[in-house]
Every structure is written in structure tokens, then in C-alpha cells.
């Protein structure tokens, strides 16, 4: 399905050493993704080379952005087809990975994928703003991540409630993030977060990625996260 040698080469350029078993799992992932994509809309990216760059290598950058200790617990909020969480789980099987998505069909895909790859993950069907209020999920994770199109202001309100004080929220965003970052500062602080660093990456074929790393320095007030409609109506400014 995917050009494995090509993926191995480009991953090595970013410091990721892929073993044959990992390449095989990523190949099976790509094939399973494309097969399911004919039934439900999971991705617009189905070209094998583009999958290597825009899905797999792009996801690996999460592991470069923040050093996660052995056995760290991670929640991928609005994971969609499993990015960045599943490629990272393939590279780091020790990570305790929770995949959260609001669409049940995508969660069914993720559950089937985990079984297909013989990979242990927890797949949860829930809206982020509701899941973030649940005692068993709230402030339970060492790290939250999201590769989402939502504005960083709202994304911080969705994701920081899941993170333990001292943990991290790592947002995979566009390359030119400065204005959005400025607009999100108040919300990040209100959720108990602090911007630690913004990393920027140049990927093959002209693709680029900006990653915002925040640390949770205090508990999120209990009134957050609010419902999506309220976030839209009353954005934190």
C-alpha cells in the first residue's frame, strides 16, 4: 500500500527510526483507512505517498514536540481517523492511548483498527465538552493532543480540562499560528494553561506544521468546558 522505504527515509530525517514491524503496521493502517474511507468519510488524503507525509510523518512530530515518559497517558481529542494518536502508538507502544471522537462511525472504525493492528487503545464516543466534565476523564491525562481545525481558543477549552496539573496539551496547528495564539492567550490562561513553546516544521513536498505546546499549571475551573454553542456565542476574549 505505502512506499515503506520512502517512509523509512523521510522519518529518519526527522530522527525517527522505523523498524520493519512498525512499517508493516503503518502499511496495514493505510490499507485499512483507504478501505473504510469508501464507506465513511475519514480522509481526503488517500494517495500512498501523501499518507506517508501528511498523516504518518506529520503525526510523528507530536512525539518530537514533547518528551513523554514511559507509560504516559495520552488523550487524542477529536481524533477522527486516528491522527496523531495511532501512528504515535505504533512508534511508542508503551503509551496509554485514549481516542475520543464525537462521531460513532469513526469510533467504530478506530475500534476495528485497534483490533486489526492488535493494538491496545481505549476508544470513546463522546463530545469533548461533555467528556471533559466526567470525573473519570477530567484531569486524568499526562498529555492531551488534537490535530483539529478549531480555533486554538476553543481547542484549549476542549482539551486542557483533560490534562493533569503538570501535564501538557500539544496542539497540531497551521504553520502561521501567531495571530491565533495571541487571540487564544486569555482562554489558555483561564483553563490553567501556559504556553511553553511553539515548534515549526518543514515537511517534504512543501508541507508545513506548527505545534503549540502548553503546560497545565493549575486546575481548570469547574464551569469549563462550556457547551460548543456557548463557546461560539461567547468566545473568551
Return the closest-CA partner of residue 136 out of 122, 121, 150, 120.
122
Query: Is residue 62 within a helix (H) or strand (E), and if so which, with residue range?
Result: helix 58-65
Q: Would you call 155 helix, strand, or coil by DSSP?
A: helix
Per-residue pLDDT for 220 more than 90? yes
The position carrying cell 501567531 is 178
Question: For residue 207, how far is the Cα from the chain centroid?
Answer: 18
Grid coordinates standing for 104?
A: 460513532
**Residue 163 phi/psi, 5° resolution?**
-90, 135
Beta strand 122-125 pairing with 208-216: unpaired
What is the mean pLDDT of the segment spanning 7-28? Answer: 98
Give the residue-averaged pLDDT of 158-165.
98
Percent of the chain clearing pLDDT 90 (strictly above): 99
Gap between the Cα atoms of 190 and 187, Å rounded:
5
Cα separation, 224 vs 235, in Å, equals 12
Residue 128 has pLDDT above 90, yes or no: yes
Q: Name, in order, each residue with C-beta under 8 angstroms of 138's C-beta and a sequence gap of 6 or more.
A: 132, 161, 162, 220
Q: What is the mean pLDDT of the chain?
A: 97
Which stretches does DSSP call E strand in 12-88?
73-77
Indicate whether 149 pLDDT > 90: no
Which domains, ranges and CATH numbers included, belong to the chain? Answer: 69-233 (3.40.50.150)
Its pTM surpasses 0.95: yes
Amino acid at each position: 500500500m505505502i512506499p515503506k522505504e520512502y517512509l523509512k527515509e523521510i522519518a529518519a530525517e526527522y530522527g525517527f527510526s522505523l523498524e520493519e514491524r512498525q512499517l508493516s503496521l503503518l502499511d496495514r493502517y493505510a490499507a485499512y483507512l483507504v478501505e473504510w474511507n469508501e464507506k465513511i468519510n475519514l480522509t481526503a488524503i488517500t494517495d500512498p505517498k501523501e499518507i506517508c507525509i501528511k498523516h504518518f510523518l506529520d503525526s510523528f512530530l507530536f512525539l518530537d514536540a514533547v518528551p513523554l515518559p514511559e507509560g504516559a497517558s495520552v488523550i487524542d481529542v477529536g481524533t477522527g481517523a486516528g491522527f496523531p494518536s495511532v501512528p504515535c502508538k505504533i512508534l511508542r507502544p508503551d503509551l496509554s492511548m485514549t481516542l475520543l471522537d464525537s462521531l460513532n462511525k469513526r469510533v467504530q472504525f478506530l475500534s476495528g483498527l485497534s483490533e486489526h493492528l492488535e493494538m491496545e487503545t481505549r476508544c470513546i464516543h463522546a463530545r469533548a465538552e461533555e467528556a471533559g466534565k466526567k470525573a473519570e476523564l477530567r484531569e486524568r491525562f499526562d498529555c492531551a493532543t488534537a490535530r483539529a481545525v478549531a480555533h486554538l481558543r476553543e481547542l484549549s477549552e476542549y482539551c486542557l480540562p483533560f490534562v493533569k496539573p503538570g501535564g501538557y496539551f500539544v496542539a497540531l496547528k497551521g504553520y502561521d499560528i501567531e495571530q491565533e495564539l495571541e487571540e487564544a492567550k486569555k482562554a489558555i490562561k483561564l483553563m490553567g494553561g501556559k504556553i511553553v513553546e511553539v515548534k515549526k516544521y518543514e515537511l517534504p513536498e512543501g508541507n508545513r506544521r506548527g505545534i503549540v505546546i502548553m503546560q497545565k499549571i493549575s486546575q481548570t475551573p469547574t464551569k469549563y468546558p462550556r457547551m460548543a454553542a456557548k463557546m461560539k456565542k461567547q468566545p473568551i476574549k
